[in-house]
Amino acid sequence: MNYDLLIRNATVVDGTRAPRYEADIAVNNGRIAAIGRLEGAQADVELDASGRIVAPGFIDAHTHDDRLMLSAPDMAPKVSQGVTTVVAGNCGCSLAPAPKGMRAPVTPPLDLLDDAGGWFRFATFRDYVEELAAHPPATNCALLVGHTMLRVQTMEHLGRPAAKSEVARMRELAEEALEAGALGVSTGLYYEPANAAPTEEVVEVCRPLAKRNGLYVTHMRDEGDNVLASLEETFRIGRELGVPVVISHHKVAGSANHGRSEETLPLIEARMKSQPIALDCYPYCASSTILSAGRAAVATKTLVTWSRPHPEVAGMDLEEIRRDFKLGIDQLLPAGAIYFSMSEADVQRILAFEHTMIGSDGLPHDAAPHPRLWGTFARVLGHYARGLGLFPLETAVYKMTGLTARNFGLADRGVLKPGMAADITIFDAGEIDERSSFAAPIQPAKGIEIVIVNGAIVWRDGKPTGARPGQVLKRS
Ligand code: ZN
Ligand code: CU
């Protein structure tokens, strides 16, 4: 038998949490053709994976890669850590649709995708999907349409609930996006441009989700003092729409709330008995988003990740900037920041929770990004699974593959078995870890050897191969 690609002597961790086993894996036409002892088989490309783990390609459950896929299609921050699919359009922020276009200054937090506005050039969601199909990146993607983007494109003043006609227009845009291939709607109710939206507005804009069993994905209104109320709001939206919900980057922020994952996780688990709920988490106790005085006030330490008027301060501590440059927050805006505001015990409890998926929430256009952009998946496998023993390797892989594929309805991804798409990551379990840090965040992970997307090798010998086989994935 002759295959396109053959991986010999693999230690297979298949994405289901089943114990690892030894096998060869054959790939044909972008799909897994066979797994087993394939002694007589031959292939155009043969890889020896002796002593290596062969896993499904990782799925990044939470990204802001909407524009990265077009502006840096090698997707190096992602494929370098074994990611083969990214879920984009999170936190209410999507690059499309922009029927009215976008001019600078771009309303934060949409500016995390492009602060100059030039990339918001797709009048319809379908135009964006077609651009990705015409110029595919190295990874696959699953797309969400952002409620904040719909508000910015529909409303003159964002500090109030949408009027009936505005809700109707947003619903129409959401429906078009879902028809064009979006898997769901995301919200960023925490952020100013969407904060004035009452629960009812969200429900009415998201109505088209029901028909397609789309997902409701949310950066909740509050991840601090009122986190329980925000969870209940999320569950209510899911129930009223009759669709699954995804709680983005679950955390309990602010020192007064440290330890409260002991309240949030049991509540999530209890509600899961009566409605479909998923959640993701990044493996760090610092968050990152746009810079604001309010957020800096409740953090123990704040690092600036970018500043439009003062690019020279990127990577520096806010205190240091104040002292050495005599610059305050107002003079740095628009800007981004990293906030140390969580407890390690909560991060570990949330990561280890049976239903938690791994999502990076990486911000790919920041000058000095949070290390989660380049480090998330390697850190979970290295620091948390191998180093701390927080869970077995099989569980760590499941949290970034099989579990995520099931929650997002990516039926032919996330598990290694015949018939599935050939998204595969080969890594050294003894070596894998992040190399990125808060001081030096732009570093490819250690231990990732070969990454394959739809049967094509996209990362090898520590660099992108130039192959761009990514597809826009549909929910089934
Ligand atoms: Zn968010
Ligand atoms: Cu996010």
Ligand in nearest proximity to the CA of 190: 1
Cα–Cα distance for residue pair 446/76, rounded to 1 Å: 13
Q: Which ligand gives the minimal distance to the CA of 187?
A: 1
* Span from the CA of 4 to the centroid of ligand 2 (angstroms): 37
Q: How far away, in angstroms, is 362 Cα from ligand 2 center?
A: 7
pLDDT at 108 over 90: yes
Identify the band that residue 253 occupies on the pLDDT scale cut at 50, 70 and 90. very high
Mean pLDDT value of segment 383-387: 98
Residues around ion ligand 1, judged by CB within 5 A, are 91, 219
Rounded to the nearest angstrom, the distance between the alpha carbon of 111 and the centre of ligand 2 is 13
Instruction: Report the pLDDT averaged over residues 382-389.
Output: 98
Give 200-230 pLDDT, tens digit per residue: 999 999 999 999 889 999 999 999 999 999 9
**Burial profile 97-129: b = 16 or more Cβ within 10 angstroms, e = fewer:** bbeeebeeebbbbbbbbbbebebbbbebbbebb
Contacts of 460 (CB under 8 A, 6+ apart): 449, 450, 451
d(CA 11, CA 166): 54
Q: What is the mean pLDDT of residues 387-409?
A: 98
For the segment 177-197, what is each residue's pLDDT rounded down to a tens digit? 999 999 999 999 999 999 999
Q: What is the pLDDT of residues 434-457, one digit of tens each?
A: 999 999 999 999 999 999 999 999
Spacing, Cα 104 to ligand 2 middle (Å) = 21
pLDDT tens, residue by residue, 222-252? 999 999 999 999 999 999 999 999 999 999 9
List of residues 6+ apart from 201 with CB closer than 8 A: 161, 162, 167
Question: How remote is the CA of residue 179 from the centroid of ligand 1, in Å?
Answer: 25
Quote the pLDDT of residue 213. 86
Mean pLDDT of 16-34: 98
| Virtual torsion, Cα 220, 226, 228, 231, nearest 10 deg | -10
Q: For the chain, what is the total number of helices (H) and then of strands (E)?
A: 17, 20
Report the alpha-carbon distance of residue 139 to residue 76 in Å, rounded: 10
Ligand 1 center to 165 CA (angstroms): 28
Query: How far is ligand 1, taken at its centre, from the CA of residue 247, in Å?
Result: 10
Question: Is the pLDDT at 378 greater than 90, yes or no?
Answer: yes
Whether 214 and 179 have beta carbons less than 8 Å apart is answered as no
- 299-332 pLDDT, tens digit each: 999 999 999 999 999 999 999 999 999 999 999 9
Tell me how far the alpha carbon of residue 363 lies from the centroid of ligand 1, in angstroms.
Answer: 10
- The whole-chain average pLDDT of the chain stands at 98
| pLDDT band at residue 1 using 50, 70 and 90 as cut-offs | confident
Task: Check pLDDT > 90 for residue 47.
Answer: yes
* 29 Cα: distance to centroid of ligand 1 (angstroms): 37
- Per-residue pLDDT at 12 exceeds 90: yes
All domains in the chain, ordered by first residue: 56-288+340-411 (3.20.20.140), 289-339 (3.30.1490.130)
Ligand 1 centroid–CA 407 distance in Å is 18
Q: Which of 386, 384, 471, 474 is nearest to 428 (CA)?
A: 386
Ligand nearest the Cα of residue 90 is 2
Evaluate if residue 476 carries a pLDDT over 90. Answer: no
Q: Is the alpha carbon torsion for 59, 65, 67, 71 positive or negative? A: negative
Neighbours of ion ligand 2 (CB under 5 A): 90-91, 361
Ligand 2 center to 144 CA (angstroms)? 12
- Ligand found nearest the CA of 189: 1
Decide: 185 and 212 in contact? Cβ < 8 Å: no
Q: Where are the alpha helices (DSSP H) in 286-355?
A: 293-297, 318-325, 329-332, 344-352
What spacing in Å lies between the alpha carbon of 109 and ligand 2's midpoint? 10
Q: Which ligand is nearest to the CA of 63?
A: 2
pTM above 0.75, yes or no: yes
